[in-house]
Structure 1
Amino acid sequence: MTPSDASGGASTGATAGRWSSLDRPPLNSAALQRALVTDGGLWTSLEVVAATGSTNSDLAARAERLPEGAVLVAEEQTAGRGRLDRSWVAPARSGLFFSVLLKPGPEVPAERWGWLTLLAGVAVAGGLSRAAGVDTALKWPNDLLVGVEGEERKVGGILAERVADGVVIGIGLNVTLTEDELPVDTAGSLALAKAAVTDREPLLKSVLRSLEQWYGDWRAAGGDPAASGLQETYAAGCATLGRHVRAELPGGRTLTGTAEAVDAEGRLVVRTAEGQREAVGAGDVVHLRSVR
């Protein structure tokens, strides 16, 4: 599973000994299950494993046999993946690395399922704001940003993958990583952002409860991003809007301009210097400067 790229996790070359002295207690699986797996709730199972290659891959392989709402959490991932198959590696118990299985069903048109990545971003940002007291901004389409000493840093990412009858969403968050555990200066962690809480259990509970609420509202609205309030909330928290950006598109093409909006399909609308507006549905976006 989890998302992002080398800028979001720790260096793959680091040894376990670098992190062995840190106080990073394991998650209490039984307590999390009692708190989150309830009658009538979205979450139907919650499993915590000590280590795995990728929670997204593991959950996707079992998706047809599992009901909606399965949650798989790993204390450590050895082959975590992000967009474009980039790697995500971090010290054991230094963050939250988990995947969830959602099955929107026929009441949500398949063309709206692409909003689930953006929905997860909104849910994570809201959950972290409540539980950790830290402002989390969204970088289109799947990155989570925090401020560290006045600088914009990437604290996590989201990866959504289609499975037979649903979507597996992987979420990765750097929680207690220290500066020397990060591979590049654009990465960050909640601890470096001076979060009020870095205990992973309340953070995970808050994020999953936020995700349950947003998913329920979106699904009840037939996946309509406007009617569910998702489109407006995403735009309000998106640090990409109003920025001068460079979008590196599939096929090697590059588009530079001002990010103006997120349209009804979840695409980023970029206005070029020539005044042309183009909707970007896939690609890497680099923030160049603010024009707001």
Structure 2
Amino acid sequence: MMPRDASDANDPSDDLSGGGGRWSDLDRPPLNAVALRRALLGEGGLWSGVDVVQSTGSTNTDLVALAAAGKAAEGAVLIAEEQRAGRGRLDRTWSAPARSGLFFSVLLRPAEVPVARWGWLPLLAGVAVATGLSRVAGVDTALKWPNDLLISVGDEERKAGGILAERAEDDGVVVGVGLNVTLREDELPVPTAGSLALAGARTTDRDPVLRAVLRSLEEWYGRWRAAGGDPAASGLQEAYAAGCATLGRLVRAELPGDRSLVGEAVAIDGDGRLVLATKDGVQEPVGAGDIIHLRQA
């Protein structure tokens, strides 16, 4: 059982006069949890529960804990209107004003897929989010390996979101997504950040955007799972490579152990690793690390 949905309650403590309550920014209305459940939950579908909380530290942390306590089934979706301690890769923080984005986590348990292939899940989520955004918002979203979501603001490439996957006990993975939707220029945490609004999206209504992203994730997850996690047979490897902005570029990989590697990103291999061709003529796969785009190759 998931936590009670705070947005379902008629809470008299909500301040409707602009004093910091849920309606203090009318350009950023709360998500409609009832409508989301009606649209997404159905017999035979992946999603087993959709819960919205007003504020939390991290949806990933909360959902991992619920899974460990046996209180979340596969397909559980936990969404926060505000994350106070959202986390990205390499222990980076992710924060944004309340209701300015989509901050959610899902629990997946791909029992029929070999664990060795579970590393494809964050890449799968990236393809699914990009596909969903293209359909509903008309925004061309590119993927920076392994899990950043890039959009164009003017002639600049900016990061609008990210994905973080974490193991949940022994039989599951929690995949978290953070996406800037209505973040304004003066609210950007860094100049290289962006949002759907700044990219000229045809809609910034978070309800249909979230529905489109979750339906796309269900579609891609089902395809990958039916193929036993095979990235080639499911079409995932090809789709990721087609949308990956890192491929074809000269990059620097900051690797564990204070090691770095510079080369042209030439492929995504069958394990989801980024393959770099170095100046020495060696092709080296990178499975973990921070990738810095240096220039177009």
Deviation readout 1:174-194 (Å, 9 max, x if unpaired): 000001100211100000000
Q: Which runs of structure 2 are paired with 1:1-292 in the superposition (5 Å)?
A: 21=25, 23-64=27-68, 65=70, 66-105=72-111, 107-164=112-169, 165-291=171-297
Q: Percent identity?
A: 73
Partner of 1:10: none
Deviation at 1:21, TM superposition (A): 4.5
Deviation at 1:100, TM superposition (A): 0.1
The amino acid of 2:77's aligned partner reads: V
| Structure 2 Cα separation of the partners of residues 199 and 78 of structure 1 | 22
Deviation at 1:72, TM superposition (A): 0.1
TM-score, normalised by the number of residues in structure 2: 0.91
Deviation at 1:23, TM superposition (A): 1.4
Deviation at 1:20, TM superposition (A): 5.0
Deviation at 1:63, TM superposition (A): 0.8
| Residue ranges of structure 1 left out of the alignment (5+ in a row) | 1-15
| Structure 1 Cα separation of the partners of residues 91 and 83 of structure 2 | 14
The amino acid of 2:161's aligned partner reads: G
| Structure 1 Cα separation of the partners of residues 105 and 168 of structure 2 | 13
Q: How many residues align?
A: 274
Deviation readout 1:152-209 (Å, 9 max, x if unpaired): 0000000000111100000000000001100211100000000001000000000000
Partner of 1:8: none
Q: Which has the higher contact order (CA 8 A, sep 6+)?
A: 1
| Residue ranges of structure 2 left out of the alignment (5+ in a row) | 1-19
1:108 alignment partner, SS class = coil
2:42 alignment partner, SS class = coil
1:135 alignment partner, SS class = coil
Stretches of 4+ aligned residues off by more than 4 angstroms: 19-22
Cα root mean square deviation, aligned: 1.3
| Structure 2 Cα separation of the partners of residues 205 and 20 of structure 1 | 24
TM-score, normalised by the number of residues in structure 1: 0.92
